[in-house]
Structure 1
Amino acid sequence: MTLTRREVLVALAAAGAGLATGCSGDDTGPGPATDPTSAPPRSASPSASPSPLRDPTRLRVAGVIAEGLTVPWGVVFLRDGSALVTERDTARVLRVRDGGATTVGEVPGVDTDSGEGGLMGLVVHPDGDAVIAFLTSPEDNRIVRMSYDGRRLGRPKVLVGDIPRAFNHNGGRLAIGPDGMLYASTGDAGARERAQDVDAISGKILRMTLDGRAAEDNPFDNRVWSYGHRNVEGLAFDTEGRLWAAEFGDQQTDELNLIERGANYGWPQTEGPTDAEGITGPKAWWSTDDASPAGVGIAHGTAYVAALRGRCVWAVPLSGEDAGRPRRRLASEDLGRVRNAVPAPDGSLWVTTSNTDGRGDPRSGDDRILRVTVG
């Protein structure tokens, strides 16, 4: 009998984390115990610069935007304030407004029974007439472009293919930078040593033009922008154009990293804070019990890091190139696993749950997109 992806994940979760502490993606192995309201020792940098909000780390659930979804993964806002949302396990793209969601397309060629792969990251082309998505096909992970006329998606055209895929560690996040370039995260796909090979595409953050070609000023004359990554599922730019990434650790430490051109982030040689020569360490970090960080959004001088295993949003004040003490927010059994935290045009956050992904405990209404007020 062939098991589906969800049946395998449920079986693994039921068997306990001790079976695979070194290779899981969303739920990694146990790390040191921590205070449930704060992070373990991390960067000792100062708090964020002054904000018009009284406390940008204070979050409150204000309502439900949409419910009954299946692993909502990528969220990108349109000019009218609505958003396009990918469902990882159905290959659907939804247009979501307050009060509901409608399907604008089901992307063909997506392997929806591929472990942590499926239909993942999404960005809207600056021209507004297309979207770019990161997906898992039966053969590989790939980045595709699809036309979008405001009602329906067109057929996918491959921009980048042959990105290694695996049951775990597929990366999948996309972002368009202030330089107009497309950034993408790729996981190590279980072949950890590839993360240190700058000629390999896995275990990296990539930088390319919007048609998938390597940017001319990249450090290694290919698409690679930074390397030594295990599994980055969160990418976001701050107001000064700095790129931040949330990364799954292995058995000890999850990370929030400031991404620099050509930098080595250590995997698999290091995990978490390090003094190793030639390695760039994280700006903030957590035990793997407290985070398993997925999406990250930046607004109000704060990085909002969605935590799957931590079942919360970590609010991390930013000050220039430094990160202050993370604050644990929205921790609730009713919320469960949190997949993404995306700043909305009105100053709120759209926070997505991930309880239908095979590792959670779905409740009535899951999965949901919640409107969360800040301050």
Structure 2
Amino acid sequence: MERRTLLTGIAAIGAATLVGCGGDDEKPSPTRTPSTTPTSPPTSGVPARVDPRIASTVATGLNVPWDIVFLENGDALVSQRDEGSIVRITTAGKVSKVGDVDGASGVAGGEGGLLGLALAPDDESTLFAFVTTGSDDRVVRLTLDGSTIRDQEPILTDIAIGSRHHGGRLLFDREGNLFVSTGDAGDGDLAQDRDSLNGKVLRITRDGKAAPGNPFGNRTWSYGHRNIEGLAYDADGRLWATEFGQDSADELNLIERGGNYGWPGVEGRSDDRDLVNPKVTWGTDECSPAGVAIARSTAFVAALQGECLFAVRLDGEKVGKPKAYFGGDHGRIRTVVAAPDGALWVATSNTDGRGDLRDGDDRIFRVTL
């Protein structure tokens, strides 16, 4: 299969712990090893510390793996951003193509293409995808027939696009509605317009309409966002998001219903009580936070420019000091998801036109905690 091979041996790579890691939107990674300056103090009274270790390499030769969702039998579906395709990785390590998503436009060095995936929680034949086309960003409902795509139907269209800031993460809530993160498409004013689809966390039904209970009677759940590429629930049902900054602060945010997160007027923390402050910030040359997963009371943040995986301990709404793992060992880290067996799957992003290619890129690692 073209550029895809599987490694089944145990990598036995130690979790090299650094003081910190690094960045802004998907800028090329620096050659130096950056350090973090988190704004939030450590917490106490949280569960035992995690010890992330790369246990094995799941797959190699992938094209900008952007999102990963798991089927009940443990197989995974993976979106490939620039190819606009979905592949399936079985529990035995076999990689096969499921199909292409119509209209997906990904260009190496850009940020759009086939991005987030979300599997309907009660129906494995229904998969939702966030797609950049030549004219818009959109959410598409895919019908799967076995291991192939049988039907594709756009349910939410006309999300404005620019050369960057697409957002693109999808996540189902406990009521069966779909959260959609969108970027500001390079126009910060859209983020403050509550009727715009851009610069938001949207909450929609499976048909793309505004979900019942939304704060403004439209699709907007929260606003004032620059570019969110990570969404995850903690064990108590709180929604967390990672957000790219511009000049001063990348962010880890706790998302509130109806909350205004300040962009473009504010980046990072503010004294304005009408705005929601981030729980953690990094300098914009230190992180570039993409995907996020929460496991064992810890938020794991994939860092593109930082080239590492950050671990942030959570104690309710309180946060600890970020700690970086695997710094510089594998290049840009795009996605991290919690697997059914309690491990993490972590995907690199070195084929996106902004990283230094290594043999076998891009790859997915299995990380034990």
Q: Same fold (TM over 0.5)?
A: yes
Question: Once the 2 structures are TM-superposed, how far is the Cα of residue 149 of structure 1 from its aligned partner?
Answer: 2.5
Runs in 1 of length 4+ with deviation above 4 angstroms? none
CA deviations over 1:94-116 (Å, ceiling 9, x no partner): 10135231101111211123821
Q: 1:40 and 1:338 mapped to 2: Cα distance? A: 20
Shift of 1:349: 0.6
Matched, 1:44 2:38: no
Letter in 2 for 1:108: D
Partner of 2:332: 337
- In the aligned structure 1, how far is the partner of 2:254 from the partner of 2:24? 24
Query: How far did residue 324 of structure 1 move?
Result: 1.1
**Structure-2 residue corresponding to 1:67:** 60
Q: CA deviation at 1:63?
A: 1.1
- Taking the aligned partners of 2:170 and 2:38, their CA distance within structure 1 comes to 30
Q: Offset at 1:47?
A: 4.0
Shift of residue 24, structure 1, vs aligned partner? 6.6
- Distance across 1 between alignment mates of 2:246 and 2:190: 16
Question: 1:112 aligned to 106, 113, 126, which one?
Answer: 106
Task: Deviation per CA, 1:203-250: give whole Å up to 9, x if none.
Answer: 000001122110121111100000000000000011111100000000
In the TM superposition, residue 45 of structure 1 has moved relative to its aligned partner by: 5.4
**What letter matches 1:203 in structure 2?**
G
| Unaligned runs of at least 5 residues, structure 2 | 1-22
Q: Give the structure-1-normalised TM-score.
A: 0.88
- Name the CA distance, whole Å, in 2 between partners of 1:140 and 1:319: 39
- Determine the C-alpha separation between the residues in 1 that align with 2:83 and 2:354: 17
CA contact (8 A) 1:170 1:187 kept: yes
Structure 2 matches for 1:277-316, cutoff 5 A?
277-316=273-312
- Give the conservation status (yes or no) of the 8 Å contact 2:249–2:283: yes
Q: CA deviation at 1:151?
A: 1.2
Query: What's 1:231 paired with?
Result: 227
Alpha-carbon distance between aligned partners in 1 of 2:289 and 2:45, rounded to the nearest angstrom: 21
Match of 2:317 in 1: 321
The count of corresponding residues between Structure 1 and Structure 2 is 343
1:353 aligns with 2:348: yes
Q: Identity rate of aligned residues, in percent?
A: 50
Match of 2:247 in 1: 251
Unaligned runs of 5+ in 1: 1-22
Report if the CA contact (8 A) 1:48-1:323 is conserved.
no
- Contact kept in structure 2, 1:130 and 1:149, CA below 8 Å: no
Distance 1:343 1:188 in 2: 28
Residue-by-residue CA offset, 1:303-350 (whole Å, 9 max, x unaligned)? 0000000000000101111211111111133x0000011111111110
Distance 1:125 1:154 in 2: 16
Query: Contact 1:48–1:301 (CA<8 Å) still a contact in 2?
Result: no
Between 1:173-182 and 1:86-95, the stretch displaced more is: 173-182
Task: Provide the rounded CA distance (Å) in 2 between the counterparts of 1:349 and 1:256.
Answer: 19
Counterpart in the other structure of 1:9: none
Deviations 1:161-181 (A, max 9, x none): 000111110000000112221
Q: Which residue of 1 aligns with 2:214?
A: 218
Q: How does 1:58-207 map to 2 (within 5 A)?
A: 58-97=51-90, 98-113=92-107, 115-126=110-121, 127-207=123-203
CA distance in 2, matches of 1:41, 1:82: 36
Q: CA RMSD in A?
A: 1.9
